[in-house]
Structure 1
Amino acid sequence: MRFLLALPFCALLLSACKPSEEAKEPAPIRPVLVTIAKRTDTVMFGPFAGTVEPRYQSQLGFQIGGRVAARDVTVGDVVKKGQRLATLDPVVTRFALTRAEADVADAKAQAENAAATEARQRRLMEGGNVTQAQMDSSTAGRDTSQARLAQAMASLQRARDQMGYTELHADFDGVVTQRLAEVGQVLSAGQAVVTVARPEVREAVVDIPEDLVGTMPREGRFTISLQSAPEITAMAKVREIAPFADQGTRTRRIKLTLIDPPTAFRLGATITVGLKRSTEPRFVLPPTALLEADGRASVWIVPEAAKDAPAHVERRDVTVGERDAERVSLSGGVNDGERVVVAGVHSLGDGQTVRVGEPIP
């Protein structure tokens, strides 16, 4: 009984031994990525990936339809003007030519016979042995046979042309860049067989996001470098801007004329395209560094801390200039050499302790 009465007092003593409130856990130390703010007076448009392509190229095909009997070139072959590129099966056209030659021979014989008949009738008429109506009929027969001969001759010439069309020849010196038909394939008239390009006139072709085209300098000189050898470069200027964006990629094709490109700029080479232009001194940062909330544009700065002291962040309002999908420029609010957080800006709080890694470029 005494034991049961002592239980409430023991519980009271134990509760008195507990702290009035549990100790708060310290805020977690967040790792952050930073970059060093550097003032610059140039802005880079790009870089973008592109290719070297010929300015002039043609898709060549037969003027008649038929089955491909031979293809004499492949991609990469250098061809000369007049060189044979492919051949159609000539069986059908050869038959048509033989038939046309026979028609000409028949028409020529009929024309000669009609001419002889007309001459004979004329002599008889002079002797008063035939009527004028008979003479007129002979003359009409001669004229008709001559017209048929002319028609047969035209058909023969067309058959000869068709025979010549069974061979496809290069219209100019160039390089085969595309093969569009194979041996045995049946083609319709005009269907492309190969693409031949003029290699002496090359240009840079690049697809740029539609929302960046409006900020692209039209008159500047672009720097083009080979991705396989970045030290090999050339200058280029804008020649053509596609009026509409590609529906799938939402990019617009830009063609740039290469200015005295090195021989290493071969057709099909992958290139990097960019343009540097002067501007007012400013800081250029990744878009991920910018925090936009509560009507403010700001960044997180990591001030230099004493040795062994924890680092923390402070929010700094900034003045935003030009921006695109790749970068944002700041004209105020940041100082040269300061560490700026470039990732996870939405999960930080003012004064929060952070762990800083090596700055990224």
Structure 2
Amino acid sequence: MPPLAPRRPWFPFVFPLLAVLLGACGGPPEPEPEPRVRPVMAVELESPTGLAARSFSARAEAAERTGLAFRVSGQVVSVRADLGDYVSTGTELARLDDRDYRLKVRELEGQLAAAEGKLTEARANFERGRTLVADGTISRADFDRLQAGFQQARGQRDALAEGLATARAALEDTVLRAPFNAHVAVRAVEPFEQVSPQRVVFVLDRLDVIELRVGMPETLVVHRERLTAVDVHFAALGRDYAGHVRAIGVDVDEDTQTYPVRIAVQNPDRRILPGMTARVDFRAAMPEAHLADYFLVPLTAVTEYRGDPHVWRLDEADERVHRVPVSLGPLEREGMRVRGDLQPGQRVVVAGVQHLEEGQRVRLLTEDDIRGARR
């Protein structure tokens, strides 16, 4: 019987096979984690020539509106102005029953006349007493009594004169008059009604100047020094009016994130009425011709990469940022002029630029985020 062939050991082949199988079960290596989503702030690029004209909607309101009230109480006996009436300065609007006020004036006039007589007598006695005390005819004590009587009479006269002036003013206040040329916007009183002091019974609108208020975004308010003209169009009237900027607020409105701007429009024929809607067109000076393709961005938007300037453009579709090389233009008061692969309407990051990477996902901060951070 031939000798049996020796068996080859099996374990040298098993361990490599197990290693292969275990490696296969482990799957492909895990990808590197994507950089975390960073919150950023961004601004929308304005066309370099887009400042030539910008339009806003607004509603007209009276440049001056005043509520009128009687300074005294009483019963209304007449109302001479109605809603919508045009009244000139000094026009009587309403009148109170003034009988009690007239009686008070007459009473004080009588008392004042009597006090004037007593003062005349006391003054004469005082002047005579000065002569008599000097030659020793009367004592010093008698003269002091004459002097005290004169001072008392003068004090009573002065108090009654002041009271009479107050009574006459109250009598005058029973008539309510227009303080300036205006239209009656509100009439809140009727004849025979009892009114109390400081209760507003008329509201007057001065319409020779109309005011409009618009909210200007920060991208435009930074160019406020370039505004050259304001055109206001009222569709209901089919007319254009010239306006001028009366005031620009420096505090942003927390709800709209815009800056309040007040526009004044002359309205000599008083055709513009409060509440009418208008289109407000701002016209601004154009940038220099050689800067026509340079965008104006805040200084914080520009950073360096390998020694060259660039900005981060935000792709809002996939919420990622991309590095855009730019050429630098002049430094202006409102920011830096840059030129590159940029288009009007695109957004560039202005806060958080130092920590971004190419293609990184970001989260655009909302107005609520900004308001919450300010609290």
CA offsets, 1:46-92, max 9 Å, x none? 54322334444544444x33246244323422112221123344355
Structure 1 distance, partners of 2:128, 2:81, is 61
How far 1:240 sits from its partner (Å)? 0.9
Number of residue pairs aligned between Structure 1 and Structure 2: 254
3-state secondary structure, aligned to 1:199? strand
How far 1:226 sits from its partner (Å)? 1.0
Structure 2 distance, partners of 1:40, 1:117, is 91
1:138 is aligned to: 146
Equivalent pair of 1:108/1:149 in contact (CA under 8 Å): yes
Structure 2 distance, partners of 1:97, 1:74, is 31
CA offsets, 1:137-195, max 9 Å, x none? 23432342233223212321221122112222223333334446666364435x65434
Residue among 233, 238, 248 paired with 1:241? 248
CA offsets, 1:120-146, max 9 Å, x none? 979998998754533442343234223
1:8 is aligned to: none
Percent identity, aligned pairs only, is 20
Structure 2 distance, partners of 1:281, 1:68, is 72
1:333 is aligned to: none
Equivalent pair of 2:85/2:183 in contact (CA under 8 Å): yes
Equivalent pair of 2:126/2:150 in contact (CA under 8 Å): yes
Residue among 307, 320, 328 paired with 2:343? 320
Alignment of 1:180-259 (within 5 A): 184=193, 186-189=195-198, 192-203=200-211, 205-208=212-215, 214=221, 217-218=224-225, 219-229=227-237, 231-246=238-253, 252-258=259-265
3-state secondary structure, aligned to 1:220? strand
1:295 is aligned to: 320
Structure 2 distance, partners of 1:257, 1:75, is 25
1:82 is aligned to: 90
Equivalent pair of 2:207/2:267 in contact (CA under 8 Å): no
How far 1:244 sits from its partner (Å)? 3.4
3-state secondary structure, aligned to 1:86? strand
Equivalent pair of 1:220/1:237 in contact (CA under 8 Å): no
Equivalent pair of 2:72/2:173 in contact (CA under 8 Å): no
1:274 is aligned to: 281
CA offsets, 1:277-305, max 9 Å, x none? 668589xxxxxxx86216379xxxxxxxx
Superposition TM-score, scaled by structure 2 size: 0.52
Give the aligned CA root-mean-square deviation in angstroms. Answer: 4.4
The unaligned stretches of length 5 or more in structure 2 are: 1-46, 295-314, 323-340, 348-375
The unaligned stretches of length 5 or more in structure 1 are: 1-38, 283-289, 298-317, 325-361
Structure 2 distance, partners of 1:155, 1:247, is 52
1:332 is aligned to: none
Equivalent pair of 1:68/1:187 in contact (CA under 8 Å): no
Structure 1 distance, partners of 2:242, 2:127, is 80
Equivalent pair of 1:42/1:276 in contact (CA under 8 Å): no
